[in-house]
Amino acid sequence: MLGAMQDFDLRVTHLIDHAARETGSREIVTRWADGSETRTTWAGIRHDALRMTQALRKVGVQPGDRVATLAMNHSRHLVSWYGAVGVGGVLHTINPRLFDDQLEYIANHAEDVVLLYDAAFAPIIERMKPKWTTIKRYICFDNGEFEAWIGDEDGNTTWATGDERDPCMLCYTSGTTGNPKGVLYEHRSTFLHAITGLQPAIFDFDARSVMLPVVPMFHAASWGLPWAGAAAGIKFVFSAVNDAAVLCDLMNREKVTHSAGVPTVWLATFKHMDETGTTLPTLRQAIIGGSAAPRFMIERLMKAGVNVAHAWGMTETSPIGTTGAKTWDWDDRSFEDQVTIKQMQGRVPFGVELRTVDLGDPAKVLPRDGQTSGALQVRGPWVIKRYFKAEADATDAEQWFDTGDVAILHPDGTLQLTDRTKDVIKSGGEWISSVELENAAMSHPAVAEAAAIGIYHPRWDERPILVVVKKAGAEVTGDEIKAHLAKSVAKWWLPDAVEFVAEIPHGGTGKISKKDLRDQFRDYKLADA
């Protein structure tokens, strides 16, 4: 047919070109670990990324090579994202909170050739260097080393070109068992994900937005913010330390309108606000994800006039799966109802499809009736087909990714997570949601953290116990907690025991590690077992 549209590969370097061209003087602010602050712009980030591309070529980096980072959030880290993809490389953001054997595994499995790191992580580098077999060049972001390295270059070069299906980024996800798995993002998937992120229900960005991302750049691609932020030409405010006092101070001085972080971050922020009387008058969009946001958190933010985007996603979904997109009857709902809706995991943007299947029979697709819970599956242009280095197999054709989450789908499209498939507790053939027990326990004023696990029971197969960390100075008994739970869950869901501990184990991304908790309670005997 005569007539055609232009060739325009959906490569992520277009994002930084756009930001530098359209909003070149928009600021990128960094508050460094030593308390100093620097300011650059989107044009400055692009220029430095071009210089880094030249420096990478000089050390022999080829398109497809993996360029790794081990760093907190700051402007040089942002430069390295665009520098790594600019040379046609694959950016590999390593999580410094992982254990040594995981760090050893992922850098070797990824075959990283260059590693850029924060001086704060130098002890990790010293420890791991003898074990990392493929890294040829280490560059520190601090002490003038990074600047000196790109300082010899003039930025007079062009980005690598290629196919939009080329890989551009690699993130590892540490599952509950086995080695971490690599998720390889493509230019095209990342580009489409970036555009999707601009929607009001997701990041709600325009050129006036000022975003302080607390979610680290090594966690699920920082939810795609460094890409989407460029597409909108927003102002970024980075902090290389995650301290609530520092974050609140920055938010107020830089007039931050948007922030994003896991629930723990917001908890720490609230605590600081309560202790000091600090308020955040400029904040209007709070993106919360990674684990379930408790009701009081959503309520408090909404009462302060902040829009809450409670998001569900995974490293395997780039990571946007759903956010707190309003239902069509939102305006007719009471405030209480609105909070209840936000407490669920929201609705998909165009592009993402969800379905649930029977936990025992995956061939059976379940109704979206707001009642039936099942194994959650997802598909879409930024959802994983297979893990890095995994061979193609028959499941590729299905194009449905098993999330490992258990969920209920509502008729209005709302997703309600009820558990992880590995964490649901099966008692007498019926499922008990550990998440619902935890949410109910967390609403008790004396509870700082709670986790429910299943313990072997000769009659019921499994019965739940609840492991609780009390708030500092608070006193509460197991029976009082059970009485509190009884207000919101069925009687047969009530835990057989409540165990108080000083600490609940967490994994590398800050989430509760049920596997470690189960290990801790492996020899636990129930009173009637």
**Positions that interact with ligand AMP (CB under 6 A):** 173, 220, 289-292, 310-315, 319, 345, 403-405, 417, 420, 509
Out of 40, 53, 173, 414, the active site residue is: 173
Closest residue by Cα to residue 418 from 369, 374, 478, 366: 374
Q: Name the burial class of residue 200, with classes exposed (0-12), middle (13-18) and buried (19+) by CB atoms within 10 angstroms of its CB.
A: middle
The yes-or-no answer on residue 431 being catalytic is yes
Out of 153, 186, 254, 316, the active site residue is: 316
The stretches of 304-399 forming alpha helices (DSSP H) are 335-343
**Dihedral of alpha carbons 219, 224, 230, 233, sign:** negative
| Least distance in angstroms from the C-beta of 317 to ligand AMP | 8
Per-residue exposure over 92-115, b if at least 16 CB sit within 10 Å of its own CB, e if not: bbbbbbbeeebbbbbbebbebbbb
| Least distance in angstroms from the C-beta of 354 to ligand AMP | 12
- Those residues whose C-beta lies under 8 Å from the C-beta of residue 367, and which sit 6 or more positions away, are none
Quick one: 306 or 417, whose CB is closer to ligand AMP? 417
- What is residue 270's DSSP assignment? H
Distance of alpha carbon 171 from the chain centroid: 11
* Alpha carbons 323 and 346: distance in angstroms, whole number: 5
Quick one: 188 or 310, whose CB is closer to ligand AMP? 310
Quick one: 209 or 403, whose CB is closer to ligand AMP? 403
* Alpha carbons 421 and 362: distance in angstroms, whole number: 12
Backbone angles phi and psi of 101, in degrees to 5: -70, -30
Quick one: 319 or 349, whose CB is closer to ligand AMP? 319
First CA to last CA distance, the chain: 75
Quick one: 192 or 384, whose CB is closer to ligand AMP? 384
For the record, the structure tokens of 327 come out as 């239902």
**Residue 210 and residue 254 in contact, taking contact as beta carbons nearer than 8 Å:** yes
For the record, the structure tokens of 330 come out as 């939102």
| Least distance in angstroms from the C-beta of 230 to ligand AMP | 22
Quick one: 319 or 464, whose CB is closer to ligand AMP? 319
Quick one: 319 or 495, whose CB is closer to ligand AMP? 319
Quick one: 292 or 466, whose CB is closer to ligand AMP? 292
| Least distance in angstroms from the C-beta of 242 to ligand AMP | 17
The yes-or-no answer on residue 426 being catalytic is yes
Scan for tokens 């390889």, then name that residue.
Answer: 184
Coil, strand, or helix at residue 113? strand
| Least distance in angstroms from the C-beta of 298 to ligand AMP | 11
Q: Name the burial class of residue 85, with classes exposed (0-12), middle (13-18) and buried (19+) by CB atoms within 10 angstroms of its CB.
A: buried
**Residue 87 and residue 70 in contact, taking contact as beta carbons nearer than 8 Å:** no
Out of 431, 470, 511, 515, the active site residue is: 431
| Least distance in angstroms from the C-beta of 128 to ligand AMP | 22
Quick one: 41 or 513, whose CB is closer to ligand AMP? 513
| Least distance in angstroms from the C-beta of 310 to ligand AMP | 6
- DSSP code per residue over 443-458: TSTTEEEEEEEEEEET
| Least distance in angstroms from the C-beta of 295 to ligand AMP | 13
* Alpha carbons 14 and 188: distance in angstroms, whole number: 11
- What is residue 176's DSSP assignment? S
| Least distance in angstroms from the C-beta of 272 to ligand AMP | 23
The stretches of 165-257 forming alpha helices (DSSP H) are 187-197, 225-232, 244-253
| Least distance in angstroms from the C-beta of 95 to ligand AMP | 9
**Residue 501 and residue 482 in contact, taking contact as beta carbons nearer than 8 Å:** no
**Residue 67 and residue 85 in contact, taking contact as beta carbons nearer than 8 Å:** no
Out of 326, 385, 426, 511, the active site residue is: 426
Quick one: 313 or 380, whose CB is closer to ligand AMP? 313
**Residue 65 and residue 29 in contact, taking contact as beta carbons nearer than 8 Å:** no
Closest residue by Cα to residue 48 from 56, 58, 36, 59: 56
Q: Which residues are catalytic?
A: 173, 316, 426, 431
